[in-house]
Chain A
């Protein structure tokens, strides 16, 4: 006991108290920390720089398309025929096919994805969730080209058998849309499930405590509380559907066609880019440059969707605050 006291008191006796206290607090230089910070900052920069580079490249080529090909922006955006060989560069058929297949995809993915998310977060036991969620995520790992052939060799024949071969053509937007929907379902499901699971259990208990059933609790309490996250998930999925290429390139056909009939073939923006750029197209031609105009437009559309989703999310949140 005495010894202990001695050892505690010893340093105080040998140096002034003030100095001893201050010395431990002196600012230290940590080169490692600074290095890590710079490294992480550069990582963040790479993605930003990539995005900007893409926009610059797209814009430059698109600009030369508009100036050299003699196609005005107005003609490009409102033209109803896309036939580069004949000099017709109206993008509407491609935009129409992109939007139509994406909407069909959302019609499939929203009920399936949100239903799965609600089941996983509100109904499933821990054991079932442990099996189901990884399985669902596995779906997201299947290469899209496999989905493409799934559409072409399974869904399309099925549609033709059910709805009639004279109604449904071999290449059609419906089959492509349905399969894109299946492809983005895991995305809707997992992102929404994250949002639903993040709702505090206190709200569920409050609802159950008032005599609400699981369904009432899920629909009237959990879902509205998670609405901003769920809407964000849907917007991400929509953007993904619009950008999806392989399935539509394989199953929707290769002819730009302005039609609202989902049984008809129609080439989407991404499908057209993939087909033309995969062919023997020489650098600097008008056809080549037109692809960049399409790409820029698609980029603008998804950007708009993104901005819209942010606005919606903020708007929905305001209702509750």
Chain B
């Protein structure tokens, strides 16, 4: 496969502490290119913490400390010479609550390009904004009102705007932290369809509370659970079909079948 590495992101013995509290430990996860990987598990199991460590968003949390390695194409993102700002330009993020900037739809999408020192013409910027909005399946709904505030859109549209905003800087990986939890079922469906399309070009890692959602969209599923010290651990990881139909671990099966969580 023309030299493409087997995995885009790989964590090795990842442990994350908030102060003296160990949020998650011993996580070994490898994420393949152009797949959707779902991180599932009950509240507090550390799945969002793991997600945020993949593009160094945890750096912004006071007291957070990451041990172990997160390899991005084989290079450790937590090596001292790595710039967290550059990491986030290549590994984008979509958040739980739609958080468009209080700017126009156009400026929301152009923001990432502008801070990356966009030097092109107005026309080429327009083209990039349109491409990102098309990529997020939002173009047809907003093409006539690009100068309106992003906050005037519906919740589902806002979330797709946030996805478009992330796509505009052409990241390789998109991290999604429960992107549908604040949306109604129809908006959720649209986002899920969008994710399946985006998978052709991007690697997606999604945290979800919704097991059905993981079952619908994810190629791979990782199940997290906290141990007796309340530290999250990766219990089982594999193709989604296997995790859902033939889990190897009894705890996975108990969670999948809805016996707790």
Chain A positions near chain B (C-beta within 8 angstroms): 125-126, 200, 202-213, 216, 220-221, 224-225, 320-321
Contact A205/B60 with A220-B111, A320-B149, A321-B152 known, Cβ cut-off 8 Å:
yes
Asked whether A321 lies within 8 Å of B151 as measured between CB atoms, the reply is: yes
Asked whether B57 lies within 8 Å of A208 as measured between CB atoms, the reply is: yes
Asked whether A210 lies within 8 Å of B97 as measured between CB atoms, the reply is: no
Set B62, B93, B100: member contacting A209, Cβ < 8 A = B93
Asked whether A220 lies within 8 Å of B151 as measured between CB atoms, the reply is: no
Asked whether A320 lies within 8 Å of B102 as measured between CB atoms, the reply is: yes
Across-interface contacts of B116 in A (CB, < 8 A): 211
Interface positions, chain B 84-116, Cβ under 8 Å from A, are: 85-90, 92-93, 95, 97, 99-103, 111-112, 114-116
Q: Tell whether B133 is near chain A: CB-to-CB under 8 Å.
A: no
Set B57, B149, B162, B166: member contacting A321, Cβ < 8 A = B149
Minimum CB–CB distance from B147 to chain A (whole Å) comes to 10
Contact A202/B102 with A210-B112, A210-B165, A213-B85 known, Cβ cut-off 8 Å:
no
Asked whether B60 lies within 8 Å of A210 as measured between CB atoms, the reply is: no
Q: Tell whether B240 is near chain A: CB-to-CB under 8 Å.
A: no
Q: Which residue of B lies closest to A320 (CB)?
A: B102
A204, B61: Cα distance in complex, Å: 12
A213, B112: Cα distance in complex, Å: 11
Across-interface contacts of A224 in B (CB, < 8 A): 102-103
A200, B97: Cα distance in complex, Å: 11
Minimum CB–CB distance from A122 to chain B (whole Å) comes to 11
Q: Tell whether B214 is near chain A: CB-to-CB under 8 Å.
A: no
Interface positions, chain B 17-68, Cβ under 8 Å from A, are: 55, 57, 60, 62
Asked whether A206 lies within 8 Å of B151 as measured between CB atoms, the reply is: no
A220, B118: Cα distance in complex, Å: 15
Set B62, B89, B162, B169: member contacting A206, Cβ < 8 A = B162
Asked whether B85 lies within 8 Å of A211 as measured between CB atoms, the reply is: yes
Minimum CB–CB distance from A204 to chain B (whole Å) comes to 8
Minimum CB–CB distance from B84 to chain A (whole Å) comes to 9
Across-interface contacts of A206 in B (CB, < 8 A): 95, 99-101, 162, 165
A41, B19: Cα distance in complex, Å: 48
Asked whether A205 lies within 8 Å of B99 as measured between CB atoms, the reply is: yes
A221, B165: Cα distance in complex, Å: 14
A86, B154: Cα distance in complex, Å: 70
Minimum CB–CB distance from A301 to chain B (whole Å) comes to 32
Q: Can you sample 22 A-B contacts with CB below 8 Å?
A: A203-B99, A204-B60, A205-B60, A205-B99, A206-B95, A206-B99, A206-B100, A207-B111, A207-B115, A208-B57, A210-B92, A210-B112, A210-B169, A211-B87, A211-B88, A211-B116, A213-B115, A220-B115, A221-B111, A225-B101, A320-B149, A321-B151
Contact A203/B115 with A209-B57, A210-B165, A321-B149 known, Cβ cut-off 8 Å:
no
Of the candidates A209, A210, A221, the one having the most CB atoms from chain B within 10 angstroms of its own CB is A209
Asked whether A210 lies within 8 Å of B102 as measured between CB atoms, the reply is: no
Asked whether A211 lies within 8 Å of B112 as measured between CB atoms, the reply is: yes
Asked whether B169 lies within 8 Å of A225 as measured between CB atoms, the reply is: no
A321, B97: Cα distance in complex, Å: 19
Contact A203/B101 with A210-B115, A211-B86, A211-B169 known, Cβ cut-off 8 Å:
yes
A281, B238: Cα distance in complex, Å: 92
Minimum CB–CB distance from B92 to chain A (whole Å) comes to 6
Of the candidates A125, A200, A208, A224, the one having the most CB atoms from chain B within 10 angstroms of its own CB is A208
Asked whether A126 lies within 8 Å of B89 as measured between CB atoms, the reply is: no
Across-interface contacts of B87 in A (CB, < 8 A): 211
Asked whether A216 lies within 8 Å of B115 as measured between CB atoms, the reply is: yes
Across-interface contacts of A205 in B (CB, < 8 A): 57, 60, 93, 95, 99
Minimum CB–CB distance from A35 to chain B (whole Å) comes to 43
Asked whether A202 lies within 8 Å of B95 as measured between CB atoms, the reply is: yes
Minimum CB–CB distance from A223 to chain B (whole Å) comes to 11
Closest 8 CB pairs of A and B: A211-B89, A202-B99, A209-B93, A210-B112, A320-B102, A211-B88, A206-B99, A212-B115
A190, B192: Cα distance in complex, Å: 44
Asked whether A209 lies within 8 Å of B95 as measured between CB atoms, the reply is: yes
A209, B100: Cα distance in complex, Å: 12
Asked whether A208 lies within 8 Å of B88 as measured between CB atoms, the reply is: yes
A220, B110: Cα distance in complex, Å: 12
Q: Which residue of B lies closest to A210 (CB)?
A: B112
Set B62, B95, B115: member contacting A211, Cβ < 8 A = B115
Minimum CB–CB distance from A40 to chain B (whole Å) comes to 34
A211, B114: Cα distance in complex, Å: 11
